[in-house]
Amino acid sequence: MKISVKKRLALGAALLSVTTGVASAVPEGIADLYNESFLVGTAIKSRDLMGELPSADSLSCREFNAFTAENAMKWQHIQPAPGQFDFALADQLVAYAQQCHARVIGHTLVWHQQTPDWVFEDAQGNPVSREILLDRLREHIHTLVGRYKGKVYGWDVVNEALNEEGSLRDTPWRRILGDDFYVHAFRFAKEADPNAQLYYNDFNMYKPEKVAGAIRLVKQLAASGIKVDAVGMQAHYSLFYPALADIEHSIKTLRDAGVRIAMTELDISVLPLPDDAFSGADITQRFTAHPVYDPYVNGLPNAEQQQLAERYQGLFALYLKYADSVDRVTFWGTTDEESWRNNWPIRGRTDYPLLFDRNGRPKPAYEAITQHIP
Ligand code: G3I
């Protein structure tokens, strides 16, 4: 018999010991509470994959059932120099996931960031031909995806290929291979592991133009005989944007186009925006540090803590509402201490974007989505 999410949440709440407004982690973990609806994942840092693996009692192991390598499977780490593959950390990720009975999400095969220059250049530093780059792409994807065939559940095949208005971004991939560069990437991934799920992943997917662009890619791939198993909405958010209504609109648009959805990199910054129009996750965007943009170095006040909890609650209510289309919700990290948001778009700030505090204790935001979904 299936237990509804609401019943499971009630059960989780009953099992919680609540002290002074801060919840303890639910005994069976947040992923178990949402088990009937979608996977709940986290990103694993490279430093956690070095040396001895965290135990089965670690926070990420207890709480989540899908692991994405935050950095370890990116091109620059997997193949830093031509033909020199380094699988040490990726192997560790797979071993850790197996120990925790978590799915592995491979991130990412084609991105314009974190790809070494040599990939696009010849020995003289000139752009390589289309044929050479296609060969390099094929070799990289076949080697990486092939190694983890049957062990990686799904791959972010192409990451962030779209401009904000939905057109294709100008990248070396596109310049050298042409507008159908992404079709080749998906084809190679499918050849290497026909049973792995294949995803297109991007940020700012609450924008209708970007969603339209993603649907265009999915349709183009379908016309080439390739099924995209889900579009990843990265979900790098803030207390101040986006509106839930905009996210809901995007979910509906994708669903109505027959596209399944994963929330792939969820976090919510609580810090002031460096600019009113600021959004997204473009790692090249940088702003100068100033104390006014870093107001919570000594702790997050209750009012903001509460706002964060309400924002997470609203998001999870939405995800549950569309659970028939949402396959997974992955947080981009587990504790506030490890979040990339502390260093982007301004370095060295103290942010509070995740479910667990700097000591690994669950925050009110955790309580909000394990007890109080309306
Ligand atoms: O580990 C080294 C450390 O040894 C060195 O001292 C230090 C000096 O800067 O750098 C450390 O590496 C950093 C790494 O994160 C680990 O913290 C890299 O400089 C930094 O570029 C890297 O940033 C990552 C970023 O992608 C670029 O790859 C972030 O951790 C990671 O969270 C972020 O993730 C991306 C997704 O892949 C795609 N979507 C957006 C998302 C956020 O930008």
pLDDT tens readout for residues 215-259: 999 999 999 999 999 999 999 999 999 999 999 999 999 999 999
- Residue 109's closest CA among 194, 175, 200? 200
Judge contact between 254 and 215, C-beta under 8 A: yes
Average pLDDT, the chain: 93
**Has residue 170 got a pLDDT over 80?**
yes
Measured in Å, residue 107 CA sits from the centre of ligand 1 at: 13
pLDDT value at position 2? 43
**For range 63-76, the mean pLDDT:** 98
From 63, 70, 160, 338, the catalytic residue: 160
**Has residue 12 got a pLDDT over 90?**
no
Helix axes 208-223, 244-256, angle to 10 degrees: 20
pLDDT value at position 278? 79
Bridge partner list, 156: 107, 199
Considering only CA atoms, which residue is closest to atom 41 of ligand 1? 281
Token pair recorded at residue 69: 């390598």
Structurally, at CATH architecture level, domain 5-370 sits in Alpha-Beta Barrel (3.20)
Is the distance from the beta carbon of residue 70 to the nearest atom of ligand 1 less than 6 Å?
Answer: yes
pLDDT value at position 289? 87
Measured in Å, residue 321 CA sits from the centre of ligand 1 at: 33
Q: Which of 66-80, 281-295, 315-329 has the lowest mean pLDDT?
A: 281-295
Among the ranges 18-32, 276-290, 357-371, which has the highest mean pLDDT value?
357-371
**For range 291-296, the mean pLDDT:** 95
Where does the pLDDT of residue 372 fall: very low under 50, low under 70, confident under 90, or very high at 90 and above?
A: confident
Is the distance from the beta carbon of residue 234 to the nearest atom of ligand 1 less than 6 Å?
Answer: yes
What span, in angstroms and rounded, lies between the C-alpha atoms of 212 and 230? 14
Going by C-beta distance under 8 Å and a sequence separation of 6 or more, which residues neighbour residue 329?
34, 38, 39, 40, 41, 262, 263, 266, 316, 319
Where does the pLDDT of residue 131 fall: very low under 50, low under 70, confident under 90, or very high at 90 and above?
A: very high
pLDDT value at position 374? 59
Is the distance from the beta carbon of residue 71 to the nearest atom of ligand 1 less than 6 Å?
Answer: yes
Q: In the chain, where are the structural domains located?
A: 5-370
pLDDT value at position 3? 47
pLDDT value at position 322? 98
pLDDT value at position 140? 98
Pocket test for ligand 1, best of 70, 78, 89 (most atoms within 8 A of CB): 70
Q: Which of 19-28, 119-128, 152-161, 339-348 has the lowest mean pLDDT?
A: 19-28
- Residue 42's closest CA among 25, 26, 63, 16? 63
Token pair recorded at residue 341: 């948001």
**Has residue 16 got a pLDDT over 50?**
no
pLDDT value at position 5? 62
Place of tokens 């009975």: 101
**Could you tell me what percent of the chain has a pLDDT over 90?**
86
**Is 165 an active-site residue?**
no
pLDDT value at position 189? 99
The structure's pTM equals 0.94
pLDDT value at position 283? 86
Q: Which of 82-91, 197-206, 273-282, 319-328 has the lowest mean pLDDT?
A: 273-282
pLDDT value at position 23? 57
| Phi, psi for 26 (deg, rounded to 5) | -65, 140
